[in-house]
Amino acid sequence: MEVTIKEEARAEIKIWNYVFGYAKIVVVKCAIELGIADVIENYGSPMPLSELATALRCEPSRLHRIMRFMVHDRIFKQEPINQHTVGFSSTPLSRCLIKGGEKSMAAFILLMSSPNCLAPWHSLSARVLETGNNISPFEVANGKDLWSYAEANPDFRELFNNPMDCDARLTVQATIEGCPEVFDRVESLVDVGGCNGTALSLLVKAFPWIRGINFDLPHAVAVAPKSDSIENVEGDMFMSIPNADAAFLMWVLHDWDDEECIKILKKCREAIPEDKGKVIIVEAVLEEDKEGDELGVARLMLDTATMVITNKGRERTLKEWSYVLRQSGFTRFNVKPIRAVQSVIEAYP
């Protein structure tokens, strides 16, 4: 009986998180657009509201309400300046909101809170009701699927590519630190769906013996910087993939269903040597029942986002990864957890 009362009480509190669930993302978007984290970080000591309002040219009482929310959510700290005044200070979390900061996720938040990416969520229930694969919620809202829309709209393309850069920087760093041995004896590496080559340039910097091939659709490769250690190649991964010792796929396979993944992986298998080749996949591995996994909920949210934004994409459990890899002709694979939402999967012919 007591459990039931406690559960009831908890539910009555928790439901408010759903009623106003969007408030968190839009307040943080507002903070990024105003540059609040940047200004407080540059100030160097606790910054009073009056000075913050002047620096940002904001209406002080409205800014106070936004700051009160973010202090409550521990995005910023409030610290005494003197007996009568307090000021705002940075935290590791607020530094994730600094535009272009080392660990910035600002571009990701700007993408996911953009009208292009928020509108499709209104079609989630329709998506769940339908059988088969008709058009994605993204296409319902924007008139084109994600890749065609990005190709036709350079502004959206930039909005989409910037967070891929943010994630690539953090996840590649986590890969380099967490499992550098994956790149031992890899002399050439093709980054399939490598976008503008950010991930590959970090990898060849960390492992300078690697010759890199950045492979993506023409519009993505067109904005990739040129470098001596990386060749940019445009093409379609469903048709053919340039040859290399290893194929690297980060946040690519989760955009596609099993049948499409198997087609991509078979093309990767054709591109690598039968004896010493491998495919390195950097993707989430869902562990549905694992308690205490702090990133578990982020992986599940990512999975719902792929349902809304991509045509047929999904995050996968270990069993589901095993299925697509075996169906593509890979005989063995291992999974290496890293400090990221994704893990590193090495698969061998």
Ligand X SMILES: C[S@@+](CC[C@H](N)C(=O)[O-])C[C@H]1O[C@@H](n2cnc3c(N)ncnc32)[C@H](O)[C@@H]1O
Sign of CA dihedral 205, 211, 217, 220: positive
In the complex, which residue's CB is closest to ligand X?
193
Size of the site for ligand X (CB under 6 A): 18
d(CA 192, CA 235): 10
Residues 231-250 contacting ligand X, CB under 6 A: 236-238, 250
Closest approach of ligand X to the CB of residue 342, in Å: 9
254 in active site:
yes
Q: How far is the CB of 313 from ligand X (least distance, A)?
A: 9
**Which positions from 280 to 309 touch ligand X by CB under 6 A, shown as an x/- string?**
------------------------------
Residue 329 burial (CB count, 10 A): 13
Q: 40 or 250, CB closer to ligand X?
A: 250
Which residues, numbered 160-219, are part of the site for ligand X (CB under 6 A)?
164, 167-168, 193-195, 199, 216-217
Nearer to ligand X by C-beta: 89 or 198? 198
User: Which class for 183: exposed (0-12), middle (13-18), buried (19 or more C-beta within 10 A)?
Assistant: buried
Determine contact, residues 247/279, Cβ cutoff 8 Å.
yes
Q: At what angle do helices 258-271 and 318-327 cross, to 10 degrees?
A: 50
Residue partners of 131: CB distance under 8 A and separation at least 6? none
Beta-strand relationship, 343-348 and 278-283: antiparallel
- 225: helix, strand or coil: coil
Work out whether 253 is an interface residue with ligand X (CB under 6 A). Answer: no
Q: Which of residues 2-41 bind ligand X (CB under 6 A)?
A: none
CA distances from 59 to 63, 140, 142 (A): 6, 38, 34
Q: Least distance (Å) from ligand X to the CB of residue 206?
A: 16
Rounded distance between C-alpha atoms, residue 265 and residue 329, angstroms: 9
- The CB-of-148 to ligand X minimum distance in angstroms stands at 10
Q: Residue 121 or residue 256: which is nearer to ligand X going by CB? A: 256
The distance of closest approach from Cβ of residue 130 to ligand X in the complex, given in angstroms and rounded to an integer, is 23
User: Binding residues for ligand X, per CB under 6 A?
Assistant: 147, 164, 167-168, 193-195, 199, 216-217, 220, 236-238, 250-252, 255
Which residues are designated catalytic?
Answer: 254
